[in-house]
Structure 1
Amino acid sequence: MSPEPLLFWQLDDIAPGNVVVDYGKGQLDGRLEGNPTVSPDDQFGAVVTLDGVGDAVVSPAPLPPYTTYTMCGWFRVPTQTSGMQTLMGRDLYGVHVNVLGRIMADLPGTNVRYSSGAGLFTYDTWHHLAVTRDTTLLRIHLDGVVVLEASVGAPPTVQSSFVVGRPPGNASQYQPMSVAAVRLYGTALSAAEVTELMAVDESPVTSFVRTHPLDFELANVDQQPVLYIDDAATSQTLTLRVTNSSRHDITLWPLSGAPSVTNRHFTLNLRPGTIAPASTVGLAASGWALAANEARTELYLRGPANAVVPAAASVELPLTGLRADGTDGTRVTRVELAYQRLGYTGETSEIVGTRQQSLEVVNHRGRPDIPLDVAFVGGNRVLSDGSGTSSLRLRVANVSRRVAIALAGSATVGKERASALVLSFDVQLANETRDWALTTAGQVGAVQVALTGATGVAWDVDKLIDDERAMWTLTPKQDTTIAAEEWLELGIGPVHGLTTPGHAPVVLSYRNVPGFQDGFVSVDVERSPLLFSGTNVAVGGVAAPFKLTVRAATEHLQLRREGQTGGNQIYLELYQSETSANVTTYPSIRFHHAGKFWHRIEGRPDGFMFKWGPPTSDDLSDIFARLGVFTSMRVDKVAVSGGEGHLRVERRDQAAGKQVFLELFQADVPANQGTFPSLRFHHANKFWHRIEGRPEGFLFKDGNTGSDDLRDIFARTASFTSLRLGSTGIGESDLRRLLDLARRFPF
């Protein structure tokens, strides 16, 4: 893709203030010298024409400086018999052509002029010229082909005005030409980029507008393209509004005599069966005449001689005395406007063409008060979270207590004349914003409409989607009725709602219902991140199985407080209203992974309990943490507390006897391994000792678990059944004898 130009003059119009608008990033609107004009052109729609006497287009000065560049544009130069013509340029350099068909380019800061071969450029023909210069090469492109490539030195910086129609430094040598789509870049474009620009400039849109400058509308008094089938005593009027959509005035060429297939400016062609043959068609427009063929399928219109339809203006032609042919019931038909014997003002070429539009023929016979009620059942919301889908149920009910509503089947009267229900809503394209759309054009294809209810016959469902609207036409195959107080229901889904909350109208039209006029009912669908199902609410989900269901693929639920005051704040409360004295409810929060695990945190009068997931279960769950901070802890019937700065293990049970308050337990290990549990007494950097349990008893050791060094014990009284010193054991009787000897033979 080409870079954005420093300057881009489309040169298909002259803006107020006698300037040409710059569509480049520099916003450098061109100032006009002389009196350039805008002329129609078959290739570009419209172009600026310079007279060669005093006309030119000049940019503001100075432009942003640059060293490399591209100058390009479309030029058509009238035939010259001698000399050289300068097309565009900056400073003291420019782009020129001459009578030999050469294309020449000057270099800024030098006296060097580079020239292509002869016979390349032709007069009176559109050519695309581009001159590019990078740091080493200068190239001349003609109609996308490089016709000259030359090595050049280091470029100087240039920043003066850019001029089209004369040499940059000479305000007296003006050149005649027509010019379009001139661009200036601060870099050298490649040959592919130059070719790409040519394709953009030669877009068929402008050429189509040039060759098909007229558009039209056919509208009733409500400004709608609708003709009613009715039994009214008065006929209807449709206004034919013909608009000049080009940028140039159009003149109707003189015609005389009655309008006919050969003597007319316009013909309005209608399909057979659109206008009732008994219609007396007239034209209520001064200076205009109308005639119609016998079948009322062709209406010929002749306008005043030399009448002008200005650019972007319209002429309104009221067609009176119209009645719709009701044979085929409600339908959409085509009308065509053909035009001839007219041309652009000041030109001799005839403009001939046709345009088409749609016209609705709508049944207005019968009663207008059909007893139909249309409403959503189960809520009118669809998800707007960007990921979930929703379904809707639209009920079409006969609210009469006594009268059935008859529906004509396609097998009886044909599909075009059969009764029909038409469901439709707007869609949004990827590059637009339509707040009233229900879903996007890319996602509406998944939506299906299914009919259920009390008709007892099969229905055809025809789906039509364009870039604006989705429509389903439902037609019964056989004659049927909607009985009094019965209903039909349309299931609509899956629907991906637009990601912006809002409302989208869904329209249900009904047509060809015997005894009633055609009509429609519009009901709103709300796009919302919240869904209701009965008394339940869902966030981000298609169903609400509980009072509140929050569903998300990646997001989380956040309880957010915006207040700036500190202190203790309640963010979530599980509240049970007051119950009778014999009923107690234990609120809980459940953590649930489907098919894998579930746990609960349950509130009780005595505190929190971590339990297994089912609310009927009292099985406790484990908890895991890096650090647990408690004021006390109870294991079964033993409590552990940290009061008064120490750990206290307290037993609440009142039973007497021997009780274990603390146990260091090692699970079973292989027979050749052993673990020796120990308690360590540790004062950082001062001492540490251990009491270690062994099969033979307790050992008082150094605090290091890798050490077997024994430590001293100190006590007021030590009670032992025996005492061993080194390898010598001393029992109670041995000790008594030693004490007796000591008393007998004191030292």
Structure 2
Amino acid sequence: MSNASNDLVLHLKLDTIIPDGGNQRVRSALTENFLASSENVSAFTESQYRSHGNPQFVSDEHFGSCFIFDGRQDYIEIPNSEDINFATNQDFTVASWIKIAKEQPFKTNGDNDIIEKWNGSGGYPYVIRYMRDSQTIHAARYDGSNNPSITTTTKLNSEQFYHIAFVKEGSKLRLYLDGHEENSTDDTTQSQTQNDSPLYLARRGGSNEAYANYFAGTIAHLRIYKKALSPEEIKQDINDNLTVIAAFNLAYPLDFDLYEGDNKESIIFIENDTKGEELVFEIQNDTEQGITLPAKSGAVSQNNYHFELRFRPDTLSPKSLQQLAFKPQSNWSMSSPVTQADGIVSLYFLTTNTTLSANEVVTLTLQNVSASAAGGARTTRVEFLCPEFTYQGETLTHYYREKKLSVIDHRGKKNIPLHVSFVGSNRILNDGTTTNKLTLRIVNVLKDKSIPLIPDSKGDNASKFIISFDVQEEGQNKDWALGTTSQVQGIGIQGTDFRLTARHIEEWKIVKETQGESPTWTITNQNEENVELRQEQGIELIVSNILSSLPSGQTNLYIRYENIPGYWDGTFICTIEKSPILFDERGKVGMGITPGTEQLKVKGDTAITGKFSLGQLIANYDSGWFDVEINKNYKKEHNLGTFLLVTQILFKDTNGRIWDAKTTLRRVNDGDFQNSYCGYYLLMPDHNTFDFATAGQAVFAADNTSTYGPERKSQRFTKGSYRIFAWRIGATLNE
């Protein structure tokens, strides 16, 4: 790190969430960085770095883990302080890594605010915003009158990390993208730029939600300096971050897992059975070097332990708190559950073996574990803490990791009487350009009983259907997936009530979530009375805008159902077939194209080898204009190769009328050949067939038995050009 670290007044890695009573906060990197002096940030101030909403921290290949904001209610609030509240003439640098989500849910205004030292009143020292329409980064200052601003010239791609730096240097404002200066402007502020607003990440401050301008995406390594960094210093920051990225396992040598069953799923069950289930708790040294724990003696307790496992309030059931036990394991012991003042439940673990060898995994088993029914099926978090350990000669303290834990309802009957299937075909065309549509139906198959539902107003406790797909993320090769991340994110789902005897509209609510590894659609019912699936009734879902460019084969649509009273939570799997051939409910078939009105519709060139037989098939064939010569015979011996026996030819005049060549001779005015005849018999080799070798050979002659008589033959059939509209083919291809 350069000497710029001496002027670093705020550094948030944004890679973990720290529980703090009933709140959540983020940790300042300055408190764990030996380069920073202890007075740079106080413990009290750090405790006020609060997260709001439900921002997730997720695994990331670049930063190990980082915050992701949903663009609806997630943000971080940092109290105002003189260190980050720059006056008109103060130099500064505000820098961060950002990744913009593919979709910004908040669209009330044109900007989504990433870093905002403003609550909507008075001036501000700095703001950094994402401009949706132009896909650029906008940075600005404001003194109440003057509002100098600067914007990147580069358009930013979604789902890609960029490093941005906003620098005030004397009378100049500069904006850097990935270490390169994108633009500059004069700082025209003259009066007050300082304010008493907190610093906000992922939104604008103030009480008016219409101007909150929430940002959807990822923010990592926010740094604020009380000096103007040079381009070299900005690049040094970038390089330092990349070095940290490469050394993620060195920074986080300990990890853990908590799972149930052979499939190692991170789940816990709500059950009627008071016995509960077994959960496996694994502690892992993820490095090639040993980890040393401090030696401790005596019984395990909340004051004497090596590791702590935390469950959020109302995660464990009251019975589980009474009966939860530790399966005996040599050198290990566990405390009884300890309920903290804020409702968090802690389990403490103590070991007499103070060394975790390189890549060692310790497997512990918790018995009689069940989830509380209070919150219904949901996703919660479980936290892993280690107060102290030594690694590579350095003692690390207050170590913290966190993972998701799914709460699944196993009360009532295991098998739910629902039928879930596609209506009609389950195939989609996987040519990468055609958008497909499928109809999915979820029906109560009981003939005499309704299935009760819990309305959407009950929040997490509401009955819900959650739809998801297999997705191929960037850099992956998953031929069993439906499509790429962007393709699946483009899918739309709409739902209506369905009955076998009638249909009517119900208040089904469908919420699309694109922030996770795979997009999901959560379906709930907004009615407040008689919320149920009546007998032989259900919901019909139109799944539209399905696009796939992945190889042909089968892929899955998952329908998870949760919180349906009287039944276990579970999942239905419906198979979708990616294919170049489609058929619809009418039995119409399309090859490389969506079925049309024809029995078979083919897109692209078609090659046929060998023999084939055809019935009365009309092939839409536009042959162009053909010259006709009177009284010239074309016989089979003139053919150069294969030939077709044509039983009928159709013509279309310029008025769009279609004429059958086998009908009675009639006079028409086709606009091109006045008073010519477009209806006639085909005479060769007999009176109902006609031979030809290539499309350019054709002979037509009038029937001598027509009412006009043979003497007018030349008048009825004149030399000229005629357009063939279609061939009706009804014979065998011969060799």
User: Which TM-score applies when normalising by structure 1?
Assistant: 0.51
The answer to whether residue 338 in structure 2 is matched with residue 293 in structure 1 is yes
Deviation at 1:395, TM superposition (A): 0.7
The answer to whether residue 511 in structure 2 is matched with residue 470 in structure 1 is no
Runs of 4+ in 1 over 3 A off after TM superposition: 195-202, 258-262, 454-457, 603-610, 613-622, 627-630, 632-638, 651-665
The residue number in structure 1 matching 2:632 is none
In the aligned structure 1, how far is the partner of 2:622 from the partner of 2:717? 35
- The residue type paired with residue 224 of structure 1 is E
Counterpart selection for 1:363 from 390, 409, 425 = 409
Counterpart selection for 1:388 from 408, 426, 434 = 434
- The residue type paired with residue 563 of structure 2 is N
The residue number in structure 2 matching 1:489 is 540
The answer to whether residue 483 in structure 2 is matched with residue 439 in structure 1 is yes
Contact 2:326 2:367 in 1 (8 A): yes
The answer to whether residue 371 in structure 2 is matched with residue 324 in structure 1 is yes
In the aligned structure 2, how far is the partner of 1:243 from the partner of 1:507? 32
The residue number in structure 1 matching 2:163 is none
Give secondary structure in 2 for the equivalent of 1:341.
Answer: strand
The answer to whether residue 292 in structure 2 is matched with residue 259 in structure 1 is no
The answer to whether residue 316 in structure 2 is matched with residue 270 in structure 1 is no
In the aligned structure 2, how far is the partner of 1:495 from the partner of 1:475? 22
Structure 1's 224 and 637: CA in aligned 2 closer, same or farther, altered over 3 A? Answer: closer
- The residue type paired with residue 294 of structure 1 is T
The answer to whether residue 286 in structure 2 is matched with residue 245 in structure 1 is yes
Deviation at 1:426, TM superposition (A): 1.7
Give secondary structure in 2 for the equivalent of 1:242.
Answer: strand
Deviation at 1:443, TM superposition (A): 1.7
Counterpart selection for 1:451 from 489, 495, 500 = 495
Contact 2:650 2:660 in 1 (8 A): no
Q: Which runs of 5+ in 2 are unaligned?
A: 1-32, 35-178, 180-230, 499-503, 627-642, 662-676, 681-691, 721-735
Contact 1:293 1:299 in 2 (8 A): yes
User: Which TM-score applies when normalising by structure 2?
Assistant: 0.52
Structure 1's 236 and 621: CA in aligned 2 closer, same or farther, altered over 3 A? Answer: same
Give secondary structure in 1 for the equivalent of 2:545.
Answer: strand
In the aligned structure 1, how far is the partner of 2:257 from the partner of 2:389? 19
In the aligned structure 2, how far is the partner of 1:321 from the partner of 1:659? 101
Counterpart selection for 2:590 from 538, 562, 571 = 538
Deviation at 1:216, TM superposition (A): 1.0
Deviation at 1:656, TM superposition (A): 7.1
1:5-43, Cα deviation, whole Å (9 max, x unpaired): xxxxxxxxxxxxxxxxxxxxxxxxxxxxxxxxxxxxx99
For residues 24-423 of structure 1, what are the structure 2 equivalents within 5 Å? 199=239, 202-222=242-262, 223-278=264-319, 279=321, 280-284=323-327, 285-291=329-335, 292-294=337-339, 297-344=344-391, 347-350=393-396, 352-411=398-457, 414-423=458-467
- The residue type paired with residue 539 of structure 1 is M
Contact 2:446 2:536 in 1 (8 A): yes
1:378-428, Cα deviation, whole Å (9 max, x unpaired): 1111111121010111110111111111111123xx121111111111211
Deviation at 1:201, TM superposition (A): 9.7
Give secondary structure in 1 for the equivalent of 2:573.
Answer: strand
The residue number in structure 2 matching 1:716 is none
Deviation at 1:239, TM superposition (A): 1.4
Contact 2:305 2:348 in 1 (8 A): yes
1:271-312, Cα deviation, whole Å (9 max, x unpaired): 100012342333222222222323573434343334322222
Structure 1's 265 and 419: CA in aligned 2 closer, same or farther, altered over 3 A? Answer: same
Structure 1's 662 and 249: CA in aligned 2 closer, same or farther, altered over 3 A? Answer: closer
1:346-366, Cα deviation, whole Å (9 max, x unpaired): x25235421111111111111
Structure 1's 502 and 287: CA in aligned 2 closer, same or farther, altered over 3 A? Answer: same
Q: Cα RMSD over matched residues?
A: 4.1
Contact 1:252 1:303 in 2 (8 A): no
Give secondary structure in 2 for the equivalent of 1:350.
Answer: strand
Structure 1's 378 and 196: CA in aligned 2 closer, same or farther, altered over 3 A? Answer: farther
In the aligned structure 1, how far is the partner of 2:477 from the partner of 2:421? 27
Contact 2:479 2:550 in 1 (8 A): no
Contact 2:284 2:362 in 1 (8 A): yes
In the aligned structure 2, how far is the partner of 1:360 from the partner of 1:493? 29
- The residue type paired with residue 464 of structure 2 is A
Deviates more, 1:503-512 or 1:281-290: 281-290
For residues 565-576 of structure 1, what are the structure 2 equivalents within 5 Å? 570=611, 573-576=613-616
Total equivalences in the alignment:
430
Give secondary structure in 2 for the equivalent of 1:203.
Answer: helix
Give secondary structure in 2 for the equivalent of 1:516.
Answer: coil
The residue number in structure 2 matching 1:589 is 619
1:112-132, Cα deviation, whole Å (9 max, x unpaired): xxxxxxxxxxxxxxxxxxxxx
1:416-471, Cα deviation, whole Å (9 max, x unpaired): 11111111112112421112211211122221111112485312211122463221
Contact 1:507 1:521 in 2 (8 A): yes
Larger Rg: 1
Of the two structures, which has the highest relative contact order with CA contacts closer than 8 Å and spacing of 6 or more?
2
Give secondary structure in 1 for the equivalent of 2:564.
Answer: coil
In the aligned structure 2, how far is the partner of 1:274 from the partner of 1:289? 22
In the aligned structure 2, how far is the partner of 1:260 from the partner of 1:547? 76
Give secondary structure in 2 for the equivalent of 1:415.
Answer: helix
Give secondary structure in 2 for the equivalent of 1:416.
Answer: helix
Counterpart selection for 1:503 from 554, 574, 584 = 554
Counterpart selection for 1:558 from 596, 606, 617 = 606
Deviation at 1:228, TM superposition (A): 0.7
In the aligned structure 2, how far is the partner of 1:616 from the partner of 1:471? 55
- The residue type paired with residue 421 of structure 2 is A
Deviation at 1:658, TM superposition (A): 13
Give secondary structure in 2 for the equivalent of 1:443.
Answer: helix
In the aligned structure 2, how far is the partner of 1:378 from the partner of 1:548? 17
Give secondary structure in 2 for the equivalent of 1:611.
Answer: strand
- The residue type paired with residue 336 of structure 1 is E
The residue number in structure 2 matching 1:163 is none
Deviation at 1:261, TM superposition (A): 4.0
- Percent sequence identity over matched residues? 26
Structure 1's 589 and 337: CA in aligned 2 closer, same or farther, altered over 3 A? Answer: same
In the aligned structure 2, how far is the partner of 1:365 from the partner of 1:388? 44
In the aligned structure 1, how far is the partner of 2:347 from the partner of 2:591? 62
Contact 2:420 2:572 in 1 (8 A): yes
Give secondary structure in 1 for the equivalent of 2:299.
Answer: coil
Contact 2:588 2:600 in 1 (8 A): yes
Contact 1:270 1:298 in 2 (8 A): yes
Give secondary structure in 2 for the equivalent of 1:469.
Answer: coil
Q: Which runs of 5+ in 1 are unaligned?
A: 1-41, 44-143, 145-190, 562-568, 577-586, 639-650, 666-747
Deviation at 1:218, TM superposition (A): 0.6
Structure 1's 213 and 351: CA in aligned 2 closer, same or farther, altered over 3 A? Answer: farther
Contact 2:334 2:350 in 1 (8 A): no
Structure 1's 379 and 343: CA in aligned 2 closer, same or farther, altered over 3 A? Answer: same
Contact 2:339 2:346 in 1 (8 A): no
Structure 1's 620 and 249: CA in aligned 2 closer, same or farther, altered over 3 A? Answer: farther
In the aligned structure 2, how far is the partner of 1:481 from the partner of 1:363? 18
The residue number in structure 1 matching 2:471 is 427
- The residue type paired with residue 567 of structure 2 is F
Structure 1's 298 and 392: CA in aligned 2 closer, same or farther, altered over 3 A? Answer: same
